[in-house]
Amino acid sequence: MPAPITNLLSRANPDADQLRRGDLLYTIHELSRLISTYFDKVMEPHNLTRAQWWAIMHIMLNEGQSQSDLARVMQMGRSAAGKLFDRLESKGWIERRPDADDQRLLRIFLAEGVGPAFDAIVSGGPALFETLLDGFSEDEERALLGGLRRIKENAERAVGESRRANLL
pLDDT at 87: 95
Please return the burial class of 51, using the count of CB atoms within 10 Å of its CB with bins 0-12, 13-18 and 19+. Answer: middle
CB atoms within 10 A of CB 56: 19
pLDDT at 75: 87
The whole-angstrom separation of Cα 15 and Cα 120 is 46
The whole-angstrom separation of Cα 57 and Cα 120 is 13
Q: What is the pLDDT along the chain (168 residues), one digit of tens a residue?
A: 566 655 665 666 667 888 888 889 999 999 999 998 998 888 888 888 888 988 999 999 999 999 999 999 998 999 999 999 999 999 999 999 998 888 888 999 999 999 998 888 888 888 888 999 999 999 999 999 999 999 999 998 998 888 777 765
* Structural domains in the chain, sorted by start: 21-125 (1.10.10.10)
Helix axes 50-61, 16-43, angle to 10 degrees: 90
The DSSP result for 9-23, as a single string, is: HHHH---HHHHHHHH
CB atoms within 10 A of CB 49: 16
Give the bridge partners for 84, in sequence order: none
pLDDT at 50: 87
* Model confidence pTM above 0.75: no
pLDDT at 12: 63
